[in-house]
Amino acid sequence: MQSANMLLKKFVRSSVLPFAAQHGMKKDLFPVSRTLSLSLCLKQDNSCSPSEKLDLDAWKKVMKSGLQEEVSETVSEHKELSTLAAARETLEMWRLAGRSVPENISEEQLKTFMECPSKSAKKKYLRYLYHKELYKKNDRRKMDEKRERRLETQEQDSKTDETRRNSFICLWASCMDRAYSWRVAQSMIFGQPLVFDMSYEKDMSIREVANTVRQIVLSEGCNRRSVDPFHIHFCNFKDDSLYHKEFVKHYREAWGKLLITATDQCYTEVFPKDKLIYLTADSPKVMKTFDHDKIYIIGSMVDKSIKTGVSLARAKRLGLETAALPLEKYLLWNAGAKNLTLDQMMRILLTLKDTGDWKAALEFVPKRKYCGFVSRPVHELKKSLNLINTLKLGKRQEELRKQFTKNYSKKLMQK
Amino acid sequence: VQPPEKPLEAEEWNRLRESFPSPEIFEEVMFNSMVRCNSPIDVAKSLLTHVAKSNGDIAYNLLVKYLVLCVQQRQTSEICDVYDIMKIRFKILESGAYNLLIRGLSNSDQWRMALTLLEEVKKIMTPSRTNYESCVKAASRHQEMNLAFELYREMLAKDLIPTLDVLQAFFDFSRGMKGAELQKELFGILLYLRENQIYPHKTFMRSIKLWFESIPGENWRGHLTNIKDSGQCPVCNHQLEDSDLTEEEYNNLRERIIRDVIHGTDTFRKTSPQEFEAFQTFVENRLPFDIVIDGLNVSHIKPRRMQCENLFDAVNCLAKENARLLVLGRKHMLINSSNWKREIMKEMQNKADFFFAENISEDDAFLLYATLRSGKHCKFVTRDFLRDHKACLSNSLTRHLFRKWQRGHQISKKMFLSVFIQQPAFRYDCVVQTTGDTWHIPYKDTFEEKYSYQVPRKWLCIQQK
């Protein structure tokens, strides 16, 4: 700051005066009040004499002059910034530089940001916050637009006709809620159990746990709305766990009234061992039919880093039977991991339970992951798919190699 | 958009801006294309002036883009001016601007300012390795070797991996200089290459050679050569270090393999405790083996033949000279099928010991364990590169040890006209090495794409006459 001050003094003495004199606007320049007014003068000035030779460094003077009084402020308050404030400053600068950085960041998020172990982790976290903010903003904008539209139509309606008479009072939503709850309550007495194994917390990052809970909330929703719901069990569920915290965040006060069974016991303690089947994509056994007498277990885990064999290991340890969905048998798989999200699993199981139809059930596998249902023998289809892929990949590899040599030679040239 | 060739007046910029489809990002797009076309900075200045006059301010990102242009054209005074302006405007800068400033200034006679900037960066974040690279290069270019080495050490202390360019700069700029201290530091760099198993490329190798030969009064001579399979250098007849691990390294590696690869986070993921125990007693009772074979991997060598025949060939071929063999497989191999004939399996079991793991267990982990347990002479056969197992090891030092051990003990082979050709394991260790009066440095060709499991075959031999 010292140097900046010096510099300012110098420039006040040397550079502005001749500049002002040259343009004949001394009285406009002193006292300098605001950047805007100054630039206005400059603009006017410029428009008066368009034929004048261009002053290429004029921007520097503008940039320096605008700050005169601000500098004196900052000098006095310039002290050692706390680390948090410093991080906030850096973020602000990144935002100015046009990087994907959120506009507003809470204290808590800032702390999480500082605790990221590496630069790339920090970048990733910021990008995540940025996109979250963007989505939120868009949602809010859309909601506002919707409200406006609704208000408009309401106005028109009120003008045109009076309220219609109807024998049902408009209580559709709460009636449905009651009917659903009735069904789920029935299933809690008579229904087939379905277990979510909540023992993977230590295998996941905080964000993965949050994703897991979100997926479970979605699956609980589908289950509630289905014709014949499962009786959902959360097993190995600890009360002070991250899972619990996230659930409360999602359900708020409804968490206590949820029609599910949550227990800290293991499923092997709740149910007879020979009835349990652990569903895992790593299982060597493939599920043929849906068995209404068995109790299926789903591991509540989102693994973005593809930790293979974690849930299989758990089943092995407890000596449980395992099964995988017959994805290969019915679908011509294209890309992506064979582990599905929890809500997709739930929909598939519900459909199987109601209809026993694999084709209908596997409609819930994301379309991007497969090319279609198998009609011809699988190996034939696979051959053509492989051919397509090698053609595609082969070309790409060639391109990559070219790119590499080009960059490399460029780097050498620079030296 | 095509940037104009000459500086424009305000109205001309206005006209251009209005003809642009999205005027709000016009300046940004224009600056980007100026950087791409490397336009003269006067054009950029005229645009900046226009922006400053119409808005009364210039956004930070435009300043940074202008800075890119200045750095690209090495306009030192302009870089300094932009820095001054940024300094007044903003309390701190972000890493992008600092990177540019440091790079721009370190190439000029204002290079000492780059050092002060580096100090400034340190206050708010860890400087990147390219920041250090610029500063180190600038310091060594001006013969301030002490300063350069200080920065280099600081960089290593921050766990930044120096680029080969930095290391090369040290050798380039110390050429012909005398001094025991300097020499020690440069030897330190060579040892750093050794420790981290880094191979210099051809130009870097040449810098090393020239530096050695330029040391006054020491009479070093360098020759390029290829090392024979026996590990003897054809130039100086010196025998290179063998690829064996020391006792301590060996035990360390074995323990790590058991802990990280076999057990990992959960023993059940790769095997089960019962199975592993059974395998351990099996191995202890039959020690030591000479060659351990990954049965399933070898059985797929020739796809047209029956899998057990492939394995049978391999076992027959390796069973010569009374070598004790261990074949690892899975239980499904014991069931009579079109690929696995019971009679052939029986016959093989007379020639070698077999261990069959569960069908869902990983036999590779057992392969590593059995080989390491048998001792240093034991080799293993598989075409697998074992990358996933290497990745399980928790620190990079152990991963290096694993690679070194793998190079010395893995026999991978090709089936060629049904003759079994063994690709021998390396007898010598491929790292930078010295005996005091000789140095042997492996290097790779500049354009050579080297896979991580490959080691260079070309060497620089340096000896003191």
Give the range of the structural domain holding residue A226, as residue numbers without chain letter.
191-373
Question: Per-residue pLDDT averaged across B305-330, rounded?
Answer: 84
Q: How far apart are CA B324 and CA B378, in angstroms?
A: 10
* Greater pLDDT, B385 or A31: B385
The mean pLDDT of chain B is: 87
% of chain B with per-residue pLDDT over 70: 96
- Give me the CATH number covering residue B271: 3.40.50.11980
ipTM confidence score: 0.80
Q: Residue B11: is its pLDDT beyond 60?
A: yes
One domain for residues B267 and B383: yes
pLDDT digits (tens, 9 = 90+) for B309-320: 888 888 888 877
A325 found inside a domain: yes
At residue A117 the predicted structure's pLDDT band, cuts being 50, 70 and 90, is: confident
Q: What is the pTM of this model?
A: 0.76
Residues 355-414 of B with CB under 8 A from A: 359-360
One domain for residues B183 and B284: no
One domain for residues B388 and B444: no
One domain for residues B182 and B297: no
* Greater pLDDT, B419 or A55: A55
Question: Per-residue pLDDT averaged across B225-246, rounded?
Answer: 85
A133 found inside a domain: no
* Greater pLDDT, B336 or A402: B336
Question: Per-residue pLDDT averaged across A69-80, rounded?
Answer: 46
One domain for residues B252 and B400: yes
* Greater pLDDT, B339 or B156: B156
Chain B residues close to A67, C-beta within 8 Å: 88-89
At residue B441 the predicted structure's pLDDT band, cuts being 50, 70 and 90, is: very high
One domain for residues B220 and B292: no
A41 found inside a domain: no
Tokens matching residue A306: 């593809």
One domain for residues B382 and B434: no
- Give Cα B385 distance to the centre of its chain: 17
B362 found inside a domain: yes
A223 found inside a domain: yes
The answer to whether the beta carbons of residues A90 and B92 sit under 8 Å apart is: yes
Which residue of A lies nearest to B95 if distances are taken between CA atoms? A94
- Give me the CATH number covering residue A290: 3.40.1280.30
Distance (Å) from the alpha carbon of B231 to chain A's nearest alpha carbon:
32
Residues 32-71 of B with CB under 8 A from A: 42, 45-46, 48-49, 51-61, 64
Closest CA to A261 of A293, A201, A220, A311: A220
Is the sign of the CA dihedral B328, B329, B335, B340 positive or negative? negative
DSSP state of A262: E
Chain B residues close to A312, C-beta within 8 Å: 268-269, 360
The mean pLDDT of chain A is: 79
pLDDT digits (tens, 9 = 90+) for B341-387: 888 888 888 888 999 998 888 888 899 999 998 888 888 888 888 88
Tell whether B268 is within 8 A of chain A (Cβ): yes
pLDDT of residue B177: 84
pLDDT digits (tens, 9 = 90+) for A222-273: 999 999 999 999 999 998 899 999 999 999 888 988 899 999 999 999 999 9
Tell whether A43 is within 8 A of chain B (Cβ): yes
Which residue of A lies nearest to B165 if distances are taken between CA atoms? A415
B41 found inside a domain: no
Tell whether B124 is within 8 A of chain A (Cβ): yes
Which residue of A lies nearest to B89 if distances are taken between CA atoms? A67
A327 found inside a domain: yes
Q: How far apart are CA B404 and CA B398, in angstroms?
A: 10
Q: How far apart are CA A41 and CA B45, in angstroms?
A: 20
One domain for residues B223 and B309: no
Alpha-carbon radius of gyration of chain A: 33
pLDDT of residue A377: 60
A147 found inside a domain: no
Give the range of the structural domain holding residue B216, as residue numbers without chain letter.
163-241+426-464
Q: What share of chain B is helix, strand, coil (3-state, %, to 5)?
A: 55, 10, 30
One domain for residues B274 and B349: yes
A209 found inside a domain: yes
pLDDT of residue A175: 86
Q: How far apart are CA B420 and CA B414, in angstroms?
A: 7
One domain for residues B370 and B231: no
Question: Per-residue pLDDT averaged across A154-159, rounded?
Answer: 77
One domain for residues B415 and B284: yes
One domain for residues B303 and B332: yes
B52 found inside a domain: no
pLDDT of residue A159: 64
Chain B residues close to A407, C-beta within 8 Å: none
- Give me the CATH number covering residue B224: 1.25.40.10
A399 found inside a domain: no
Total domain count for chain A?
A: 1
pLDDT of residue A25: 43
Distance (Å) from the alpha carbon of B48 to chain A's nearest alpha carbon:
6
Total domain count for chain B?
A: 2
